[in-house]
């Protein structure tokens, strides 16, 4: 397997497909999944002539199940380590959900300061802040995330069936046709990872305030969000991010849920390709 070792000793698995002289697109996956969640997009953009890269976050997928570093700072640093190892330049960084938070912090802290980033895409992303606070009344109360933690600790395998079978892809909506292959693939990816990384990752994606990250990003950034997202409700996410970004473009999708990259890949891929090419 292709791996690197970070400064604090975590082994990070990555995929690197396509011509080395092509413009790179790096994908950042959501919680509690792996780089495999980007297979459809990686094949699509590879076919269109791009170099495509994705890694498994520490504690997820095939990366090491380390006991420390399950926070947005380490996520971004690990991404930066992969970028440096592959010497990616003029790259587009695309993040989904928690991966959107990772991509945001990476671009703000490493990518732009090092001159390595051309554009960014945030899809169903957690920034600026998911948690409900006095300054963020549209967020979700801490009890929601405590419930995630309890469900994971009590029966991770069952919880990781319930999430994709229901709210993640919108399969709990009236008239929805449950795609069992999609559910099983979500479960497969999730169960490959570390229970500790997943448990501590809930705090990372829900309580990390990325307001300043978004303010500092100057590259063109496309923000995509489903209007029926039950995991990262749009009201506390995309519209707020757009107000903070200096060169942000917002596109929303009526009826689409959190997992729209999989369920509606034909639409999303075309929209991202148009932005990348523009």
What phi and psi values does residue 207 have, to the nearest 5 degrees? -110, 0
What phi and psi, each to the nearest 5 degrees, are found at residue 209? -85, 115
Q: Which residues contact 154 (CB under 8 A, 6 or more apart)?
A: none
CA distance 41 to 28: 12
Residues that are catalytic: 97, 229, 258
Residue written as token pair 């994705």: 54
- The stretches of 6-53 forming alpha helices (DSSP H) are 39-47
End-to-end CA distance of the chain: 34
Round to whole Å and give the CA distance between 93 and 109: 13
Compute the distance between CA of residue 53 and CA of residue 16 in angstroms, rounded to an integer: 5
Q: Rounded to the nearest 5°, which phi and psi values hold at 118?
A: -100, -45
Which single residue is written with the structure tokens 């996520």?
75
């Amino acid at each position: 397997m292709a791996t690197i070792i970070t400064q604090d000793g975590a082994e990070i698995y990555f995929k690197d497909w396509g011509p080395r002289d092509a413009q790179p697109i790096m994908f950042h996956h959501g919680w509690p999944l792996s780089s495999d969640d980007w297979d459809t997009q990686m094949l699509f953009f590879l076919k269109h002539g791009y170099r495509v890269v994705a890694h498994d976050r520490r504690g997820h997928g095939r990366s090491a199940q380390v006991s420390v570093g399950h926070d947005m700072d380490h996520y971004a640093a690990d991404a930066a380590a992969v970028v440096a190892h592959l010497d990616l330049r003029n790259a587009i960084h695309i993040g989904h959900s928690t991966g959107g938070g990772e991509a945001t912090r990476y671009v703000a802290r490493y990518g732009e300061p090092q001159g390595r980033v051309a554009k960014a895409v945030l899809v169903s992303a957690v920034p600026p802040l998911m948690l409900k606070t006095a300054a963020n009344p549209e967020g979700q109360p801490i009890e929601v995330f405590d419930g995630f933690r309890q469900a994971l600790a009590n029966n991770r395998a069952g919880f990781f069936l319930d999430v994709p079978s229901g709210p993640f892809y919108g399969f709990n909506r009236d008239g929805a046709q449950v795609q069992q292959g999609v559910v099983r693939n979500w479960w497969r990816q999730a169960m490959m990872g570390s229970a500790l990384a997943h448990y501590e990752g809930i705090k990372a994606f829900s309580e990390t305030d990325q307001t300043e990250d978004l303010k500092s990003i100057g590259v063109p950034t496309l923000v995509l969000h489903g209007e029926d997202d039950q995991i990262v409700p749009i009201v506390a996410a995309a519209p707020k991010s757009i107000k903070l970004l200096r060169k942000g473009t917002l596109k929303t999708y009526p009826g689409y849920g959190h997992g729209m990259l999989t369920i509606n890949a034909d639409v999303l891929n075309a929209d991202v390709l148009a932005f990348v090419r523009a």
